[in-house]
A and B are shown apart, each in its own frame.
Chain A
Amino acid sequence: QVQLQESGPGLVKPSQTLSLTCTVSGGSISSGGYYWSWIRQHPGKGLEWIGYIYYSGSTYYNPSLKSRVTISVDTSKNQFSLKLSSVTAADTAVYYCARVNPDFESDWFDPWGQGTLVTVSS
């Protein structure tokens, strides 16, 4: 079955750019039919959708993060990536990648990666 795995630095300095990669195994991003998404969870808080990308490169972002977020896809490596610029301590969170299953009346995230904690600190 499809599995997702996040990777990237666990510590980022304030004002720098957070960069994470999600590697997909057991299925091909370029086969289409799904969106590929990033979600984060601040410590002890709820889930926040960051954005998603289609294999063609089409993207949608959370309006509250749109000015700082870039999601890209590399179909040759079966990976998609997140860049979040100008980070502050408020961006400290567990970051998850997940596949979005779109339907006319519903969307659902499944499967999810295990998540990776990113701490913003000098």
Chain B
Amino acid sequence: EAGVTQFPSHSVIEKGQTVTLRCDPISGHDNLYWYRRVMGKEIKFLLHFVKESKQDESGMPNNRFLAERTGGTYSTLKVQPAELEDSGVYFCASSRTGTEQYFGPGTRLTVT
């Protein structure tokens, strides 16, 4: 089966601009997670979808981040406006059961 895919692989934007990241989960996986790894630190949870519903968004850093999963398939994560501290690698993961999670390759976001 195809793995989790993410687009773009890299994005370089200026402070104040908007960026939208996309994640396509493994087909049939209702659970979709977003994580972020800031340089030198651990991978941190951002939010969890079950189908199109936000199950838990306790990890979202502030209201500049907006995640959607319309139709319960792919998900987008928008950062608007981007700040320097938003730089990092954004991972998406999906799971059929809510236990084993399979990660995408990540999107490396650089805010200058």
Q: Do A and B come from one complex?
A: no
